[in-house]
Structure 1
Amino acid sequence: MWTQKLVHTKRGVFEIFETGSGEPLSVTHLYSEFNDRGYYFADRFADDFHVFLVNLKEAGQSDSVKDEIELSMSETCKDLEAVRTALGLEKWSFAGHSTGGMLGLVYASHHPDSLKRFIAGGAAATNEYMKHKDSIYSFKNPKNNRLKEIFTILASPEATKEERVQAGREWTKMSLYRPERFNEYFSVPSSGKVVQKRLDYYSYTELPDYDIKGDISKINTPSIIFCGKYDSQCPFVFSEEIHQLVPGSLFIVFEESNHFPHLEEREQFGEMVKRFLDLGVGN
C-alpha cells in the first residue's frame, strides 16, 4: 500500500508516495507521474526498503517550474536533495530505470555524499542510443516507421481513447522479449503516465547534448548496472558501457528480458534487489 505525503522543501512542495520498511530508497523517473497505485519498478523494492516514490516538478501535486531549466537532470537532482533533507535523511539510496536510471547516474556524480548506493538499468550515458540500429528510436531500426505512426496516434486530439490505448500497448509490446505475455505482466493496475512537459524538455533540450561519460567515470558510490539482453529502447551495449565507466560497479544481465526485466524476470530481479541491499555493507 502506497501512502501519499506532501513534502515541503526549500525548493518547493513535492508529492511523494511511500511504502515498505528498512533503509530509505528514492525511486523516480525523469518524466513520469505516480499515484497511490505505485509503480511497477518501485514495487520490486518494497519488500526490502522503505521506498520513497517521488513526483518531480510538473508531476501530480508537486510544484510547477518557474523556469524550464528546472526540468533538467542537474536541477532535478537538487530537488531530490531538497526532498531528502526535508525528510531528515542523512543518506538514502537511489533506484532508476530507463531515463530514471540516467537521472540516477547524474545524481550519483553530482551528489556522491548523499547516496549509500544506487542501481540503474536500461539506461545510457550518451544520446548515441537514439542512433543505434537495435533501438526502436533509431531510423535504422525496422520498427521505427511504425513507432512514428504510434506517436502520431498518441499525440492526435482526434484519436479515440481506445486508439490511444491500443497504440500505447503496441509500443510497450515492442519492448518486451515475450510480447504475448503482455496481459500477464500488466495485469495489476499501476501508475507512471507520461508528463509531456518533462518529456518534451528531455527530448528537445537535454537529449541533443546528452553525454555524461566523463562525469560517471568519477563515481565512487557502490552501484549495480543492469540491463535486459534484448533491450530495444536503450540497447545492451549502452548499459555495458556504463558498467565499464563506473568504477567498481556490478553488472547484471537479464538473459530473457527486453526493457522491463522487473516484470519479465521477476524472480531474478528480486535476487538482484537482495544483492543491492547487501552492496557496500561493511565498507
Structure 2
Amino acid sequence: MIKTTRGTFEVFVKGEGEPICITHHYSEFNETGDYFADTFTDNNKVFLVNLKDAGNSDKANYAHELSMIDAVLDLEEIRKVKGFPSWTFAGHSTGGMIGIIYGIHFSFSLKSLIIVGSSAREYSSSSNRCIYNEGHPKFKRMQELIEILKLPSLSEEERKRLSKERTQLSLFTPDNYDLYFSKNITKKMSASRMNFFSREQLIFDVTRQLPSVKTNTYILCGRHDVQCPIDFSIELGELITAASLHIFEQSNHYPFLEEEFEFKKILKNIL
C-alpha cells in the first residue's frame, strides 16, 4: 500500500532492475499478478498499480477521479513517493490509452513509453473492424459478456468460463487459449471504472496532442487486433515524433502471449 497526497494505492511489485509502471483502466489486480506485467519481470522491477475503485486502493470520492487524466496524476504521485526521477510506463489496451496521456503531459517523467494494442482516440464507432462496433459480427456477444461479468453474484466457475469466452474473441488462434493462459493468474473487473470508461471513451481524442510526447515511444500491435484495430497503432506511430512501430503478424489483441518469443526479444532491444 503506497500512501500519496492523492490517496492510498495498492501496488504489486515483482522483479529486479529498472522500474516499470503498469496499470489498466478497469482491471483489479491481486497477488497472482498479470500476464502483460509478467512479460517485463525477467529484467525489470514492475510496479503493477490498482487505480482508485480497484482492489484495495482508495475509493473515488468524485466521478472525475475515475478518469484517465486522474489516473496519470495518481501514477505521478506514486513515482514521486517511490523516489524515482523517471521510470518506464507500459500499457496494454486501455492501459495504453492512459500511457499516451502520461506521455503527453509528463514526458519528462518517462524514460520510455511502451504502448501495446491501443489508440489515441475513440475507436469503436469509426471502425467496423473493432469488436465494439455494431457492424462487427461478434459485437452482440461481446456486449453480453461484458455486462454479465459485471455481476457480483457470479460464481467463480461461471466467471472463469465467461472470461475465457470473452478473451477468445480477441485471439488469432482461439483454441490456443489454454496454452497462453496457463498460469494461476486471476483478476476481476472494476464495474465503476468500466462504466466510467464506457462514457469517457465516447469523447476521447488526443490525436492533436500526440506531438507533445517527447520520450522514446514504442508502439506494438497485433495485425488482427479486434479491440483496437491496427490502424490506430499506425496512427500513433505517424503522429508521435519519437515513436517506432512493430506489427505482430500472427497476433490479435495479445501479442505478448500469442507471439511471446518475438515480443520478449523486442522488449530486450527496447529496454
TM category, shorter: over 0.9
Alignment partner, residue 272 of structure 1: 266
Asked whether 1:175 is paired with 2:175, we answer no
Alignment partner, residue 214 of structure 1: 208
Once residues 29 and 265 of structure 2 are traced to their aligned partners in structure 1, the CA distance between those partners, rounded to angstroms, is 25
Gaps of 5+ in 1: 1-5, 278-283
SS in 2 for 1:127: coil
Asked whether 1:200 is paired with 2:200, we answer no
User: Which residue, 79, 85, 90 being the options, matches 2:80?
Assistant: 85
Residues 123 and 130, structure 2, Cα contact 8 Å, conserved in 1: no
Alignment partner, residue 8 of structure 2: 13
Once residues 168 and 8 of structure 1 are traced to their aligned partners in structure 2, the CA distance between those partners, rounded to angstroms, is 32
Query: Deviation string for 1:229-259 (max 9, x for gaps)?
Result: 0001111111111111111211011110000
Shift of 1:148: 2.9
Shift of 1:133: 1.3
Residues 150 and 189, structure 2, Cα contact 8 Å, conserved in 1: no
Residues 129 and 238, structure 1, Cα contact 8 Å, conserved in 2: no
Shift of 1:162: 4.2
Pair 47,155 (structure 1): closer, same or farther in 2 beyond 3 Å: closer
Alignment partner, residue 103 of structure 2: 108
Gaps of 5+ in 2: none
Asked whether 1:99 is paired with 2:70, we answer no
Alignment partner, residue 35 of structure 1: 30
Residues 131 and 140, structure 1, Cα contact 8 Å, conserved in 2: no
State the aligned residue count: 271
Shift of 1:190: 1.2
Residues 15 and 46, structure 2, Cα contact 8 Å, conserved in 1: yes
Once residues 47 and 160 of structure 1 are traced to their aligned partners in structure 2, the CA distance between those partners, rounded to angstroms, is 34
Shift of 1:20: 1.1
Query: Deviation string for 1:205-246 (max 9, x for gaps)?
Result: x11210010111221100100100000111111111111111
Alignment partner, residue 281 of structure 1: none
Once residues 150 and 257 of structure 2 are traced to their aligned partners in structure 1, the CA distance between those partners, rounded to angstroms, is 27
Residues 153 and 163, structure 1, Cα contact 8 Å, conserved in 2: no
Query: Deviation string for 1:28-87 (max 9, x for gaps)?
Result: 111111111111000000012111111111111111111110111111111001100111
Shift of 1:157: 7.0
Amino acid at match of 2:13: E
Shift of 1:163: 4.2
Once residues 254 and 198 of structure 1 are traced to their aligned partners in structure 2, the CA distance between those partners, rounded to angstroms, is 30
Residues 69 and 101, structure 2, Cα contact 8 Å, conserved in 1: yes
Amino acid at match of 2:240: V
Amino acid at match of 2:226: S
Asked whether 1:247 is paired with 2:241, we answer yes
Pair 156,89 (structure 1): closer, same or farther in 2 beyond 3 Å: closer
User: Which residue, 41, 44, 50 being the options, matches 2:39?
Assistant: 44
**What's the Cα RMSD here?**
1.5
User: Which residue, 128, 133, 143 being the options, matches 2:123?
Assistant: 128
Once residues 42 and 179 of structure 2 are traced to their aligned partners in structure 1, the CA distance between those partners, rounded to angstroms, is 21
Once residues 17 and 160 of structure 1 are traced to their aligned partners in structure 2, the CA distance between those partners, rounded to angstroms, is 25
